[in-house]
Amino acid sequence: MFPTYRESERPRCPFCEEPFGRPPEAGPRSEGDFYKWLCPCGAIGAYDATGHNLGEALMEAIVFACDDDWDKALSMESEKDYEIRYLDSYRAAEHRVLGGRATPKSGLAAFVFVKLKVAKDAE
């Protein structure tokens, strides 16, 4: 049972264009508790159900990408060590991205994606 929507409104990873599924409906249980997942392309997605805490969601995504190593995460530099891409104007009820019509007050959710530029070594 999928809603009908235009292909352009399907939520996709901003790095690899891979469509992703609906995040859990429940919002963050507490601050600093964002739903995160690993895209097949290696990017980390973080879901901000409110659309207002993207800075925190971003930080969590970076820490997640660093295997929960806060020291490493805090030493990383944007653009040098990782790339950030945003996907906003997300309407969770329809699992749909509304292109260009959202305003900061529209109450729509948003995602932030982080991709490390350096390949993670196994050791």
Residues that bind Zn ion (CB under 5 A): 13, 15-16, 18, 39, 41, 43
CB of 41 to Zn ion, least distance (A): 3
- In the complex with Zn ion, which residue's Cβ is closer, 16 or 74? 16
| Helix and strand numbers, DSSP H then E, in the chain | 2, 5
* Closest chain position to Zn ion (CB): 13
E strands along the chain, which residues? 35-38, 44-48, 82-91, 96-97, 109-116
- In the complex with Zn ion, which residue's Cβ is closer, 39 or 84? 39
Buried b (16+ CB within 10 A) or exposed e, 17-41: eeebeebeeebbeeeeebbbeebee
CB of 108 to Zn ion, least distance (A): 21
CB of 54 to Zn ion, least distance (A): 18
- In the complex with Zn ion, which residue's Cβ is closer, 40 or 104? 40
Q: Provide φ and ψ at 12, rounded to 5°.
A: -135, 155
- In the complex with Zn ion, which residue's Cβ is closer, 27 or 83? 83
The rounded radius of gyration (Å) of the Cα atoms in the chain is: 15
CB of 15 to Zn ion, least distance (A): 4
For 92, the 3-state DSSP assignment is helix
